[in-house]
Amino acid sequence: MAVTAGMVKELRERTGAGMMDCKNVLTETDGNIEKAIELLREKGLAKAAKKAGRVASQGLVQPVFAEDGTKAAIIEVNSETDFVAKNEEFVSFVNDLATMVLAHDIADVDALLATPFQNEGTVSDALNAKIAKIGENMSIRRFVKCSDPGVVYVGYTHGNGKIGVVVGFETEASKEDVFSMGRDVAMQVASMSPRFIDESGVDPAYIESERNILIQQALNEGKPQEIVEKMVAGRLKKELKETCLIEQKFVKNGDVSVCQYIEETANTLGKPIKVVEMIRFEVGEGIEKKEENFAEEVAKQMNN
């Protein structure tokens, strides 16, 4: 029997096992779901599957860079607790994955999971082995690879991997020339969390949504209709300055904007520099976390 995407989806939902693991056992069992479940258990994936439903909202963000700065990659791998995120084996595993993403053209997380990993089978196999060994759920959440021609990539990691940033600068200057400035800009992205590089990159739908909100706020304040438009234009301009990277005040010197700071370096080098890419990953952002106190977290580690 041919294995369909629907069968793989059902098996993943029922067991929590990885996509390629599900596909492989379905092939071995000729599409028999129940036998496939048994085979997953026999292969030692059941222990990992039992943990798959637990929230993995801690973890590590790891950016890596080519030596000359022409390529960069950043990955987020999640764990249930901060204890595991600091585990040397986990840290090494995440770094190995980031290096794989940098070295190869891997389409998405499922493709990464199916990629051979050292002498441990696939990445999925290695991940499940670590879940079984360490005793809590882990997941590869997302990654990005950057390699545009003419772009130099610099980054910054904050809080032992809680936040990772990659910034791409279009320039003829070398990585060494722009590294100090680039790191400062990456720190700006980490601390101020801009949504856009500049106004040209702002989604028109976002501008329209914010404009409507600001109009309603002004009307609710009792402002006359005839002056609301002018007020909103000014407020929107101010908001865009706060949410666009190069318009923000530079955190290390509030007297200049990020744009002005970059221009200072460009003028010194005699080579134009333009920010063209910006990636900011923060561990667990958007993942619903379970509230647990420290004592409960320790107790859970003791019981695993």
Q: What is the pLDDT of residues 26-82, one digit of tens each?
A: 999 999 988 888 787 766 665 555 555 565 679 999 999 999 999 999 999 999 888
First to last CA, the chain: 40
| C-alpha span between 152 and 177 (Å, rounded) | 10
Structure tokens at 259: 């744009």
If pLDDT is split at 50, 70 and 90, which confidence band does 142 have?
very high
What integer pLDDT is reported at residue 55 of this predicted model? 58
What integer pLDDT is reported at residue 121 of this predicted model? 93
Q: What is the pLDDT of residues 54-68, one digit of tens each?
A: 656 799 999 999 999
Q: State yes or no: pLDDT of 214 exceeds 90.
A: no
Judged on CB neighbours under 10 Å (0-12, 13-18, 19+), 276 is middle
Q: Taking a C-beta distance cutoff of 8 angstroms, is the pair 78, 58 a contact?
A: yes
What integer pLDDT is reported at residue 23 of this predicted model? 87
Q: What is the pLDDT of residues 182-210, one digit of tens each?
A: 999 999 999 999 999 998 888 888 888 88
In the chain, the largest separation of any two C-alpha atoms, in whole Å, equals 73
Task: Give the residues across from 167 on adjacent strands.
Answer: 154, 278
User: How many residues would you count in the chain?
Assistant: 304
Q: What is the pLDDT of residues 250-274, one digit of tens each?
A: 999 999 999 999 999 999 999 999 9
Structure tokens at 263: 């221009």
Sign of CA dihedral 248, 251, 256, 260: negative
If pLDDT is split at 50, 70 and 90, which confidence band does 289 have?
low
Closest CA to 213 of 205, 244, 201, 202: 205
| C-alpha span between 189 and 183 (Å, rounded) | 10
Query: What does the H/E/C string look like for 270-295?
Result: CCCEEEEEEEEEECCCCCCCCCCCHH
Interacting residues of 31 by C-beta distance below 8 A, sequence separation 6+: 1, 2, 3, 7
Q: State yes or no: pLDDT of 168 exceeds 90.
A: yes
Query: What does the H/E/C string look like for the chain?
Result: CCCCHHHHHHHHHHHCCCHHHHHHHHHHCCCCHHHHHHHHHHCCCHHHHHHCCCCCCEEEEEEEECCCCCCEEEEEEEECCHHHHCCHHHHHHHHHHHHHHHHCCCCCHHHHHCCECCCCCEHHHHHHHHHHHHCCCEEEEEEEEECCCCEEEEEEEECCCCEEEEEEEEECCCHHHHHHHHHHHHHHHHHHCCCECCHHHCCHHHHHHHHHHHHHHHHHCCCCHHHHHHHHHHHHHHHHHHHEHHHCEECCEEEEEHHHHHHHHHHHHCCCEEEEEEEEEECCCCCCCCCCCHHHHHHHHHHC
Domains and CATH numbers, the chain: 5-51 (1.10.8.10), 58-196+277-284+292-303 (3.30.479.20)
What integer pLDDT is reported at residue 292 of this predicted model? 47
Percent of the chain with pLDDT over 90: 54
What integer pLDDT is reported at residue 133 of this predicted model? 85
What integer pLDDT is reported at residue 209 of this predicted model? 85
Whole-number mean pLDDT of the chain?
A: 87
Q: How large is the average pLDDT for residues 119-131?
A: 91
Percent of the chain with pLDDT over 70: 88
| C-alpha span between 53 and 137 (Å, rounded) | 8
Q: State yes or no: pLDDT of 232 exceeds 50.
A: yes
